[in-house]
Chains A and B, each alone.
Chain A
Amino acid sequence: MANAGPHPEKSFRALQGLAIGLSAFWAVLATAHVCPLRAQDWTARRQEMVAAIRADVIATRNYIGKGLLRPDVLAVLEQIPRHAFVPEDVRPAAYENRPLPIGFGQTISQPYIVALMTDLLEPAATDRVLEVGTGSGYQAAVLAELVARVYSIEIIPELARRAKERFGRLGYTKIETREGDGYFGWYDAAPFDGIVVTAAADHVPPPLVRQLKAGGRMVIPVGQRFSVQQLLLITKAQNGDLKTRQILPVRFVPLTGVH
């Protein structure tokens, strides 16, 4: 039996190879975990991000009802330093067209979705907008460049505190923040021309509907944190009637052969 076996030296080398391979694997894993990517030219990357949004919008024009988003919305996205709204470890990916984790089980939405939601709100310079779920503060910052006043509520104290600090540091004076439950909206500041709810619950909070002005618009993304399934647009007519539009933010026809 011993004769049939391999040479011990060769076996040793094989095991040595295996050990080196495993070490290399763990080294790659560790590197991927701890080494941040090199910072890039933020302005150029913002322009690339907006170009990616434009391309996605053109691709989904049949579904969102328009081939172009409002130029002022895209211009704002091109100005706002998104990298200042994300944690250090994901900063190199700040301008990729994808959602990013911001800690506390929350995300900063994909720029394409932020752009769509902002556009759907049809913001005007005199508007007062309520945001339920401040998160990183990026959506509020985008809105603040387009409307008169933004009221933003965040339920997670650490996120609320950080967003408030960030707004102060970046000079967003038109944003008012509050820490707490957003279900009942912001009664003192109501009614609002627009309301953004950053994560859908199982139903639309009726108090928010009441705080929406006649002619106002409410936008809610529906789906999981990293994959928005649809955008819910609720409009209140002048007579108070409510209508919901369910917008699939993707160019996907469920039937083949029908376009």
Chain B
Amino acid sequence: MSAAPDNASPLPPMSAVGMLSAAVLAYELLLMRLFAIVHWHHFAFMMISIALLGYGASGTFIALLPAMRASRLRWLFPVGAAGFSIACVICFLAAQHLPFNALEVFWNPRQWAYLAGIYGLLFLPFFFAATSIGTALRFGGPRIPQLYAADLCGASVGACGTAGLLFRITPSTALVIVSSIGALAAAATALRWQLKQRALVAIATAGWITLLGLGTVHWHIPAINAYKPLAQALRIPGTHMLYQRHHPMGWLSVVRNATIPFRYAPGLSLNSEAAIPDQAAIFIDGQAMSAVDRYRGHSEAIVYLRQTTLSIGLHLRPNAKRILVVNAGGGQDILRANAYGGHQIDAVDPHPDYASLLHNELADFWRGQMPSGRLHYHTTTVRAFLQPPRKPYGLIQLPPGSNGGSGASAFGENTLLTIEGLAQLWQYLEPGGLLVVPLWARLPPRGSLKAFRMAVIMLEDQGIVHPSDHLAMIRDWRTAVMLIAKSSLANVEQNAVRNFCRRWGFDLVFLPSLRPEEVNRHNVLAQPFFANAARALVGEGREAFCQRYKFDLRPATDDRPFFGHFFKWRALPEIAALRTAGGIALLDWGYPVLLAALAQAVVFSLFFIGLPVLKNRLGKRESRIGRRQDLAILLYFSVVGGGFLLLEIAYMQRLTLVLHHPLVAATLTLTGFLMGAGIGSICAYQAVAKGMAVRRLLRKSLMAVCLIGMLELAAMPWLMARLGSMPLGIAAAAAVGLIMPLGVAMGMPFPLGLALLNRHWMEGIPWAWGINGCSTVISAVAAPLIAISMGYTGVITLAILLYGFGLVLAKWL
């Protein structure tokens, strides 16, 4: 129990374990950030998920190691930590040199080899770090809970620290810091022992950190995929980067071309004669472009903004006194509102750099032309903005493409386009007010139809007897814009929509009084897909229609906030068969990529978990129960690892709705759960040291997880409704209050399980460590898949069931 080290002990200092865990968690978060910049976020998610199986492989590796004296194994920790330190930088740089192109995977088999290469490279740092920690646990004996506590607390600091670091420095520099922490963990362990080579260790560590520091001078921007919009823009002669800033919410870059302007004007009429002014383009993570127009106060310069589908709301409500522009970005919608003479404009955007840019670096574009007091730009999410009571708006304008463009965002959560989100916006409309929802019009239609269906359901929920009287939708070839009116649309308003469409060559999709002959006239489709579907969605047979439709049109809710999910298994064979005849564009990638990641994770996990069993390397137990015990151990550590991650992910999403800011929610949840679990592990260590029976404590902790989980699940709707409207500080404190008790209980089952193994089957510890690692990866990938089908309530329920199953299994450990 004493922490005093000796020269023969294989155990590293707790501080080194904490440092290494902090570094490895920070590395994981940084990779997510860096790969979201380099590639697309769904492939980034898949790459890193598979790489995290390094944790599972480490258990296998330790189990397969030849037997040797514990004193010799002490080297594994510093060697692993040093390996992590070197690999986390080198492997990332090497992975960047593999020419993987996600867009080409369905055409070119070579891309799969590149992807596998990236897996292999990213796998190594996790493998090294996990081998270090796994070895420490293997020889931890009674100090296992203490070691696990150090691991969790370190990870908690890593989660919190990374979010903080990314406000100040680039992810590349942060990676260098992470590598340095790994090197320091290795050095701290090696230097602690009475070695002759202490000086050498110190010099090598200092040398490596210096080398890393020098490397950062030439290493700032990751090389982004050549097909990302920013890379394409930068290829055009004359384009230069005006400004860039890394932020945990995304890498924001501003580019401009004085000779060849960007001319970003989604929904612009084919009949438009208006010129588009000089623009700066803003990209987030090299994509999601928005534009900042140069406006000198001459209204003719922005006339083009009145000639787009997106102007339909303002065309109907030109005299709206109060206008809310949601996710305003560079401010095109603000200028549009200004062009119509909006009296007071509230603009909100959660990314703080937009407001800062418009006030500072891009101040000469248009900000200075806005009369003081007319525009209020708020850095927050719209749902947070609307929590305190505010005066209602005459018009609320959502950003173009609220639904995302590519379908890659199937598991990207969107809390704006949910039934509850739309309801909140609709409630803030004054009588006669309009909510304008612009969407990308993909073919065959999906996002626009899902939004339309959600609007119908939302209006019914609000007690509207005839929802169709409150709805209108128009389209061109690129955009579909839905109007949700607070009051029924009068005939004169419907005719104004007709005239607007006639003047600018747009098509009517839905109006309460729309006649069949009025549709599909300007942008002609083989069939009036949009109009027919919209009519079906307000009719009696809408459920049957959705059943028959080949894309998933189930409404997104706060519990299932996946607006971008359209994938149906039924359509896959047909899409695959039409691959060369234009079928690829029909596939929404997010869901299949997630499934592919899950399948890979399961296959690799089975390999890693099965290998020591097949090789008969798990040794003999002093009190062997038999195969049933093997199975119980496998299942126990699987359910405990899986349950932990499922709860963590589900709470992260739930708290986003309360705290309104994904970054705050993610940091608070990760830090809270890991810190709580660390405290739980220390408590377990102390309780066992005081003589409490391990198995009894383990059962109690599992029961506590189930009970607290069930209580919180039952109270969740009530809590969410109340916390959501509270100030951030109080909501955050309450969130910590929710997380901590659960976290403390969740921190016990794993180390106590290991402590039980340590008594009669020490060789099983690395195996259990590997199982835990594999199950956390599988559950991290499975969580969004489960949530897409069953919602996050389903994810929490499943996690509680897993812990309950762990309780059943505990007797066989």
Contact = CB atoms under 8 A, between A and B. Distances in A.
A187 interface: no
Given A227-B103, A227-B585, A244 B477 contact: yes
B231 A105 contact: yes
A19 interface: no
A246 B476 CA distance: 10
Given A56-B580, A155-B260, A255-B550, A105 B226 contact: yes
Given A105-B226, A156-B235, A227-B103, A254 B529 contact: yes
Interface residues of A, number: 76
B64 A226 contact: no
Interface in A211-259: 222-230, 232, 234, 242-258
Select the residue from B265, B267, B270, B550 with max chain A CB neighbours within 10 A.
B270
Nearest to A254: B444
Interface string A45-60: 0000000100010011
Contacts of B812: none
A112 B762 contact: no
A59 B570 CA distance: 20
Contacts of B64: 6, 11, 14-15
A211 B31 CA distance: 48
A38 interface: no
A62 B437 CA distance: 33
Interface string B63-78: 0111111000000000
A101 B66 contact: no
Interface stretch (A25-33, A80-88, A119-127, A134-142): A25-33
Interface string B555-587: 000000000000000100011001011111110
A198 B526 CA distance: 22
B110 A56 contact: no
Contact of B263 (A14, A183, A225, A247): A183
Interface stretch (B362-370, B613-621, B644-652): B613-621
Contacts of B107: 98-99, 226
A157 B586 contact: no
Given A112-B581, A206-B270, A242-B271, A254 B67 contact: no
A226 B584 contact: yes
B574 A252 contact: yes
A29 B763 contact: no
Given A11-B66, A230-B443, A255 B226 contact: no
A155 B445 CA distance: 32
A254 B113 CA distance: 34
Interface stretch (B185-193, B246-254, B517-525, B686-694): B517-525
Nearest to A234: B270
A8 interface: yes
Nearest to B103: A226
B599 to A, nearest CB: 19
A248 B107 CA distance: 20
B65 to A, nearest CB: 7
A170 to B, nearest CB: 25
A117 interface: no
Contacts of A98: 107-108, 580
A181 B260 contact: yes
B264 interface: yes
A105 B103 CA distance: 11
B477 A232 contact: yes
A64 to B, nearest CB: 9
A247 B443 CA distance: 9
Contact of B585 (A1, A7, A229, A253): A229
Contacts of B477: 222, 230, 232, 244, 246
Contacts of A248: 443-444, 525-526, 582
A6 B550 CA distance: 55
B110 A32 contact: yes
B534 to A, nearest CB: 13
B406 interface: yes
B455 interface: no
Interface string B210-249: 0000000000000000110001100111000000000000
Interface in B753-794: 762-763
B120 interface: yes
Given A155-B260, A202-B265, A227 B584 contact: yes
Interface of A: 1-2, 4-8, 11-12, 14-15, 22, 25-26, 28-29, 32-33, 52, 56, 59-60, 62-63, 65, 93, 97-99, 101, 104-105, 110, 112-113, 155-157, 181, 183, 200-206, 209, 222-230, 232, 234, 242-258
Given A29-B114, A204-B268, A224-B585, 13 more contacts: A6-B66, A6-B615, A32-B113, A105-B226, A105-B227, A155-B236, A242-B270, A242-B271, A244-B270, A246-B443, A246-B524, A251-B581, A256-B548
18 contacts: A6-B615, A6-B616, A11-B617, A52-B580, A59-B581, A101-B104, A202-B267, A203-B263, A204-B270, A224-B406, A230-B443, A244-B505, A245-B524, A248-B582, A250-B581, A251-B578, A254-B529, A255-B549
Query: Which A-B residue pairs are the 4 nearest by beta carbons?
Result: A5-B67, A250-B582, A4-B619, A249-B582
Interface of B: 64-69, 99, 101, 103-104, 106-108, 110, 113-114, 116-117, 120, 226-227, 231-232, 235-237, 259-260, 263-268, 270-274, 406, 442-445, 477-478, 505, 522-526, 529, 533, 545, 548-551, 570, 574-575, 578, 580-586, 615-617, 619-620, 762-763
